[in-house]
């Protein structure tokens, strides 16, 4: 179990719990739960709920259960159960032996239903789904009672029993609560409690052909688990009176439901339907595509779980619908990685440089820091030679003002090595493309030497051609081109048109420091001046890592360059 970092901000739910603790409302207990439906993968929005529920339990020395709300076998699968468990654990939380399934309560729920029938509070309806909808009325008009509403208890008991043994077809009958067809709250207009579903369940197999609705399951499951604070999202606010009605009629333990606003993030979508669509229409490689806001996608992208927890803490908890800036998440990721990631030099788009006054066949050993932010991280050896690679973007023949990288006739420092000067530019005769730079170095400026005090404006990362290994790197960007992918229906009528065509750039011609060959799946690094990268856990092979860019470094130059567009 993770420990709560520093001082988590206070929010309204904490205030409620603190008050309940003071008044002894639940004998000092705090017991929460995270209740996903196993019909999809967990995303960053779920992370907020997970951190809230597990975090609160941990903070108040309480408990938090993991419960699968698996009441709809036609949509749920074991695959999702496993993925969800893995993601919650990866995020850093542990439910000990408190793993539950709503389906474990099916017998109990059936008994609850029978109890309500006996009290005259539930009845079997034979209306079709269309008729039920018509009878329900509208937002501004009351509904009408079903003609089957006033059958006798005996008849309802008999019918419900026959539903259970499979005498009726799907859709032929349902069990409904008898509440109030004129209620302003639609949830109270005789909601369906049980429906016939002739599909096998991933946990209970063929035992049942009737399944309880979520609304008839969730509140009672919380009750049976003795949950004290049942946290859920805003849209369930109008379901609360219904849950309370069931609990009250059944006369069983009543947890306190508290609603909070779900997380929204710009430049992405967080609805299961849309995420599923991205996967099914193959706009991404799967649920764990590094561009997906799923926890498995973020894990593969290289986001540390600590950073996600930090983010969830920083976004706060309230009741107002809000959209958090993706930049906050990226800030949390950089903040963590800056402290923890080992540095390395990787040239993503290489440009060859020959140091004309450096001896041939000479390789010089230099020292590089593994992490300047961590004095215990140590250092490593890197090699310098007559031919080098530098980043193509670090050279400009006709630079704009304030460009302080390499330019013809000017100097620049190579990190941990020497100051070099660009003497000549060699171009391809046909295309005019720059293909090589001829430079000279100043032997007096070796890194670490006292005469190395001469200052130059720019410092570049580089690799000796003799000590560079080819590598594939994948550069990721936002999956969507606009802040709110679902807002502008005119400009972006469908998901497809709102996708960012440049969200993935795969580069095979990059070079890395040789030690990176042994990097293990999931290892994270800062490639100097390029960003944070993580060894892809799906396409890397032993000795041949593929790197995913987690996030770029903050880039002040890119901002300046963007403001005053210039040719290369």
> Restricting to residues 452-481, which ones interact with RNA according to CB under 7 A?
452, 455, 458-459, 461
Q: Least CB distance from residue 228 to RNA, whole Å?
A: 19
CB 353 within 8 A of CB 387: yes
Binding of residue 559 to RNA (CB under 7 A)? yes
Binding of residue 312 to RNA (CB under 7 A)? no
The DSSP 8-state label assigned to residue 538 in this structure reads T
**Contact window for RNA (CB under 7 A) among 292-300, 365-373, 490-498, 510-518:** 365-373
Is 272 an annotated catalytic residue?
Answer: yes
Binding of residue 235 to RNA (CB under 7 A)? yes
Residue among 317, 439, 468, 551 that touches RNA (CB under 7 A) = 317
- CA 174-180-184 angle, to 5 degrees, is 115
Catalytic residue, from 25, 29, 37, 136: name it: 37
Catalytic residue, from 121, 272, 392, 446: name it: 272
**Strand duo 229-233 + 210-212: pairing:** unpaired
Cα–Cα distance, 53 to 94 (Å, whole number): 12
**Strand duo 531-535 + 524-527: pairing:** antiparallel
Residues 333-362 that bind RNA (CB under 7 A): 334-335, 338, 343
Q: Which is nearer to RNA, 383 or 557 (CB)?
A: 557
Tell me which H or E stretch contains 59.
helix 44-59
Residues 265-284 that bind RNA (CB under 7 A): none
Cα–Cα distance, 539 to 526 (Å, whole number): 20
Tell me which H or E stretch contains 16.
helix 12-23
3-class SS letters over 422-479? EEEEEECCCCCCEEEEEEEEEHHHCCCCHHHHCCCCCEECEEEHHHCEEEEEEEECCC
Residues 33-72 that bind RNA (CB under 7 A): 37, 69, 71-72
- Left if phi > 0, otherwise alpha if psi is -120 to 50, otherwise beta: which for 402? left
Is 254 an annotated catalytic residue?
Answer: no
**Contact window for RNA (CB under 7 A) among 48-56, 152-160, 201-209, 237-245:** 237-245
Q: Least CB distance from residue 179 to RNA, whole Å?
A: 13
**Which one, of 402, 304, 288, 420, lies nearest residue 351 by Cα?**
420
Is 411 an annotated catalytic residue?
Answer: no
Binding of residue 149 to RNA (CB under 7 A)? no
Catalytic residue, from 75, 144, 149, 262: name it: 262
**Strand duo 122-125 + 469-476: pairing:** unpaired
Residues 480-519 that bind RNA (CB under 7 A): none
Residue among 202, 309, 405, 524 that touches RNA (CB under 7 A) = 405
Q: Which is nearer to RNA, 127 or 252 (CB)?
A: 127
Q: Which is nearer to RNA, 177 or 292 (CB)?
A: 177
User: Which residues are annotated as catalytic?
Assistant: 37, 262, 272
């Amino acid at each position: 179990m993770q420990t709560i970092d520093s001082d988590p901000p206070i929010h309204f739910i904490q205030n409620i719990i603190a008050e309940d603790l003071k008044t002894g409302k639940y004998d000092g207990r705090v017991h929460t739960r995270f209740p996903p439906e196993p019909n999809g993968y967990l995303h960053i929005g779920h992370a907020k709920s997970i951190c809230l529920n597990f975090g609160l339990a941990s903070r108040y020395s309480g408990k938090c259960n993991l419960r699968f709300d698996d009441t709809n076998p036609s949509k749920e699968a074991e695959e999702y159960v496993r993925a969800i468990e893995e993601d919650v654990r990866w995020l850093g939380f542990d439910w000990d032996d408190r793993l539950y399934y709503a389906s474990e309560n099916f017998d109990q729920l059936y008994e609850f239903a029978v109890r309500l029938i006996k009290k005259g509070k539930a009845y079997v309806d034979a209306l079709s789904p269309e008729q039920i909808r018509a009878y329900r009325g509208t937002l501004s008009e009351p509904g009408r009672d079903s003609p089957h509403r006033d059958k006798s208890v005996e008849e309802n008991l008999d019918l419900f029993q026959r539903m259970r043994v499979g005498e009726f077809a799907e859709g032929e009958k349902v069990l409904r609560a008898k509440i109030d067809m004129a209620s302003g709250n639609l949830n109270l207009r005789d909601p369906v409690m049980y429906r016939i579903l002739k599909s096998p369940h991933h946990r209970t197999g063929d035992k049942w052909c009737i399944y309880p609705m979520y609304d008839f399951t969730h509140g009672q499951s919380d009750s049976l688990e003795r949950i004290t604070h049942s946290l859920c999202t805003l849209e369930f606010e109008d379901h609360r009176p219904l849950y309370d009605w069931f609990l009250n009629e059944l006369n069983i333990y009543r947890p306190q439901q508290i609603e909070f606003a779900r997380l929204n993030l710009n430049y992405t979508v967080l609805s299961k339907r849309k995420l599923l669509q991205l996967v099914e229409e193959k706009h991404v490689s799967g649920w764990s595509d590094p561009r997906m806001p799923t926890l498995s996608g973020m894990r593969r992208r290289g986001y540390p779980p600590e950073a996600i927890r930090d983010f969830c803490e920083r976004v706060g908890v309230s009741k107002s619908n809000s959209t958090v800036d993706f930049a906050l998440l990226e800030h949390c990721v950089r903040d963590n990685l800056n402290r923890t990631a080992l540095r390395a030099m990787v040239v993503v788009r290489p440009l060859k440089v020959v140091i004309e006054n450096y001896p041939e066949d000479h390789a010089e050993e230099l020292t590089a820091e593994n992490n300047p932010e961590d004095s215990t991280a140590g250092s490593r050896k890197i090699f310098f030679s007559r031919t080098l690679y530098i980043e193509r973007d670090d050279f400009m023949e006709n630079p704009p003002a304030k460009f302080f990288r390499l330019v013809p006739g000017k100097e620049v420092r190579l990190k941990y090595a020497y100051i070099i000067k660009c003497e000549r530019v060699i171009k391809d005769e046909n295309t005019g493309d720059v293909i090589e730079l001829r430079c000279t170095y100043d032997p007096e400026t070796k890194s670490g030497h006292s005469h190395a005090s001469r200052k130059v404006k720019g410092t570049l990362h580089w690799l000796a051609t003799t000590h560079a290994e080819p590598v594939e790197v994948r550069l990721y960007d936002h999956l969507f081109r606009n802040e709110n992918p679902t807002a502008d229906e005119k400009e972006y009528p469908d998901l497809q048109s709102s996708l960012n065509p440049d969200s993935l750039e795969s580069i095979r011609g990059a070079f890395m420091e040789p030690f990176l060959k042994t990097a293990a799946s999931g290892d994270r690094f800062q490639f100097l001046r390029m960003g944070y990268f993580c060894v892809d856990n799906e396409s890397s092979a032993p000795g041949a890592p593929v790197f995913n860019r987690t996030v770029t470094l903050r880039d002040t130059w890119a901002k300046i360059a963007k403001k005053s567009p210039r040719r290369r």
